[in-house]
Each structure stands twice: as C-alpha cells, then as structure tokens.
Amino acid sequence: MQLSVVILAAGQGKRMNSDLPKVLQPLAGEPLLQHVISAARALNPSNIYVVYGHGGAQVQAALREEPVEWVLQAEQLGTGHAVMQAMCLIPDEHTVLVLYGDVPLISGASLVKLTAAADAGALAILSVNLDEAHGYGRIVRNADGQVAAIVEHRDATPTQLQICEVNSGLMAAPAGRLREWLLGLGRNNTQREYFLTDVVAGAAQAGVRIEAVPAANALEVAGVNDKIQLAQVEAGFRRQRAGELMLAGATLADPTRIDIRGDIQVGRDVFIDINAVLIGQVHLAAGVKVGPNCVIANSRIGEGTEIFANCVLDHAVVAQNCRVGPFARLRPGTVMHREVHIGNFVEVKNTEIGAGSKANHLTYLGDSQVGKDVNVGAGSITCNYDGANKWPTFIGDGAFIGSGTMMVAPVRIGAGATTGAGSTIASSTPDNKLTFERSQQITKDAWTRPRKFGEKEKAEIIAKKIPTQKD
C-alpha cells in the first residue's frame, strides 16, 4: 500500500524562549525537523507533507533542499486540525503516517511496525510505558484489554493519571477512514482544540481494530518542548551513537564525553579520547587514534594514523600511518599521503602533501603541492595571498625548507633543493641547490637595552617626538 507521511511542525514553541522556531532547534547539528524528515524519507513514501505555521518562512528556508510538500496551518486549532490541512491532498487508498517535528529520534523499526498495522486496516498508535508520564495522553483500555480511548493529561481523571502506558502521538491509519474520523472531531475539551488523539474514539465506535504498537524505548518518542528537554534528548542521542561506535569496534575513553553530529564510520580498534567532536561524514579506519579535544568534520583518516590532542580537521583526507598535531589545523582541501607528519601549530589548507613529508612546527602551507620526503622547517610559510588573488607553491620531492623560509607564491622549489633559514624566496629555485636570501647583518656597538621610564619621562619623550597639533 502507498504511504503518505504528515509531519506536524506548526507549533510556536513558546517554552523555548527563542527566536528560532521549535522545529529548527538544533539536535546533533541538525534541526529537529530534519531528523524527522530523514526518518520519514527512509520509508520511501509517495509524499511527505510538512504542516507549518509559526515561523513558516524560516522553517521553509532552512529545509528548502528537502523534497517535501509544505501545507500551511494558518490558524492553530490543534493536532487534529493540523492533519486535516493535509488530508485533502492524500488519496483514500493511501496509508497515512502522522509524525511530529519535535519528536526527532523515532526509529525506522517502530515506523515499519506502525505502518504495517495500518496497512492491515487498523488504527495504529505508537505507545510507550513511562514511569513519569506527566503531560502525556493516557491509553485507556476496556475490560478485554483493547484500546478504547486516549485521554489527554489535562482531561484525565485521577484514576486515569495512574496509567503508565501513554500515547506518543504518532499514529498510522488508512487515509479514507482517518478522513471520516477527523471530520467527526469536536472541541469539547479544556483547550478548545481538535485533538488528533480523539480519532481513537471514532475508530472504536466504528468497530475498527485499534492497535497500540509499543516503542522500543522512551528516547525514540521523547518530545522536545524546552531547552531542558532538548538537552536531555541530545544526551540520549549521544549515548545511543556512542553505543553504536563501540559495537562497531571503537574504544571510547569516556562514552559520555563524545559529541557525534553526523554519519560516523569506524574500523576495528579505533580509539577516541575525551571531548572529541565528530561532524558530518567522518570515516576513521582501523587503528586510528584520536586524542582529546579534537574536532573532525567531513574527513577520512587512514589506518594507523594518530591525531594528537587539540586538533581541528575539516574536509581533509589523511592516509595511513600519519601523525597530526598536537594543536594542528587541517582545513578544506588538505590531502596527506602515507606517513606524513604535521606537527604542533601547523596549518594546512588546499594542499597535497606527498608520502613521508614533514612539517613539524609553526608552519602554514596553503594552496600548495608538496612532494614526497620533504622537510619543512619551523616557522616557514607559503605566502599565497597578495590581497586579491591566491597563488600556488610547488615544492619538489626531497626538498629541505630551512626554518623561517617565506615562499612568496607563485613559486617552485626544486626537487632536492634546500632553502637557507630565514630566506624570502620570491623566485623559483633549481633542483639540488642551496638557495638563500639575507640582508647584511649589522652589530651596533653603542647600543644599550632600553630601560624602564617613569610616567613623567615617558610623557616628555612622547611630547618631543609627537608635538601637540594646534587648532
């Protein structure tokens, strides 16, 4: 049966105390709504309808690349009313799955069970048992154990408030039947709204089977209404992802101190120290070691490579058995071949570095092509930017760049060439030759070190060197 997904995302989220609409609040680096759309997309539905309202322009702009249909709920009259806005677009023969833009961690397995029950003709609701059920609608069963109704927390009796099985809000149903039940909704409740959960009573009156599908855990149906709940869901998500990494073969120094904000793939015997932040598409091959306080975004790290403490890698490709850091930064376009060493306070951008090359201290390599077995001395810089244009530097195989060399691009350092320490190299150098540039060294015999002046003396000296301007 064909599937249409309706995602309710019109709420204002006043408790967030934020200018950002609730469904755009970030979870693991992505908006809450993005997580829900991704879960829906995995089911290969015919259509995904996002019902929007508050902050609609912001929401649509943030997710403009998503292949969804946007449905406006101009007046906020409850969840049932929100689903009504999309139903006119959905054929009767479809199954309708209703999701919420602020319930971001729903699992694909639960959604498959939910839609399968609806495909068989039932009204399927996703339930969960909670020790603390405050704020949730209670699932009321009849004497035979069948679902008879869902009662919202505000409207529940004291006896009903003792029920631990609660409604997550997610449901699936045949579209034609759901349309009938929605048209029968009323607003006889304390909030004067059309509650989607009231369709349960309509289904029960029609003799339709109501099936409560249990969620695997409370985390996947946790809603986000304020910053505290957002932090709780974020923490739960981190625990979940950390567990997946460990099952895949990674060792985490402390699973509670890792931040995962993307699709992370790890090989066997990867080690990740505390406070690592992994963003986007990250692949850590077997035996990779990541030191404490590292940020790795959209990068591939080869087998046996070690990233020492406090490094930042962004859109970098690092081959096997390399050494990076501590305190190194690899910017977009960095490609390192095997056994390259990038040391402390070295920055690399848009540069390919050949096998066995080293830049161990205080160096900047930008817009460069560095050959194999090159040694770049401390404090050396490719001067790639003239204020308007970026220019390339080429360093041949086996070159030795003396400490403090300024390579003024565009320039080529020959294979096997050596540059003298402290040189400014503005013209290309030949292969296998020493090239250096220095001004004359001068010693001033009469010079003495400056002494510390008092405030009065300093004022007199300044007055002599910088006379006061007259009006």
DSSP states of 191-251 as a string? T----GGGHHHHHHHTT--EEEEEPS-SGGG----SHHHHHHHHHHHHHHHHHHHHHTT-E
Per DSSP, the three-state class of 177 is helix
Separation CA 225–CA 17 (nearest Å): 10
Radius of gyration of the chain (CA): 32
User: H-type helices in 248-338, by residue range?
Assistant: none
- Bridge partner residues of 149 (DSSP): 140
Give me the torsion for CA of 224, 98, 237, 34, rounded to 10°: -90
13-36 core/surface letters (b: 16 or more CB in 10 A; e: else): beebeeeebbbbbebbebbbbbbb
User: E strands within 73-176?
Assistant: 95-100, 123-129, 138-141, 147-151, 165-174
- Catalytic-labelled residue, pool 54, 153, 283, 361: 361
According to the model, what pLDDT value does residue 469 have? 58
Q: Which is nearest to 155 in space by CA: 190, 125, 127, 183?
A: 190
Q: Report CA 3 to chain centroid distance, whole Å.
A: 29
How many other β-carbons are positioned within 10 Å of the β-carbon of residue 70?
A: 15
Distance from first CA to last CA of the chain, Å, rounded? 88
pLDDT of residue 284: 98
pTM of structure: 0.85
| pLDDT at res. 438 | 84
Distance CA 320, CA 310 (A): 20
pLDDT, residue 470, reads 58
pLDDT of residue 155: 85
Q: Respond yes or no: is residue 81 known to be catalytic.
A: no
What per-residue confidence (pLDDT) applies to 286? 98
Cβ-contact 213, 226 below 8 angstroms: no
CA-angle at 97, arms to 95 and 99, nearest 5°: 170
| Cis status, amide bond into 326, omega within 30 of 0 | yes
- Domains belonging to the chain, first-starting first, are 3-221 (3.90.550.10), 235-435 (2.160.10.10)
What sign does the CA torsion over 126, 130, 135, 137 have? positive
**81 with 151: CB under 8 angstroms?**
no
Cis previous bond, 410, omega within 30: yes
Per-residue model confidence as pLDDT tens for the chain (471 residues): 899 999 999 988 889 999 999 999 999 999 999 999 999 999 999 999 999 998 889 999 999 999 999 999 988 899 999 999 999 999 999 999 999 999 999 999 999 999 999 999 999 999 998 888 888 888 888 888 878 888 888 888 998 999 989 988 899 999 999 999 999 988 877 788 898 988 988 898 888 999 999 898 999 999 999 999 999 999 999 999 999 999 999 999 999 999 999 999 999 999 999 999 999 999 999 999 999 999 999 999 999 999 999 999 999 999 999 999 999 999 999 999 999 999 999 999 999 999 999 999 999 999 999 999 999 999 999 999 999 999 999 999 999 999 999 999 999 999 999 999 999 999 999 999 999 998 887 888 888 888 888 999 888 888 888 876 554
pLDDT value of position 464: 86
Measured between alpha carbons, how far is 471 from 460 in angstroms, rounded to an integer?
Answer: 21
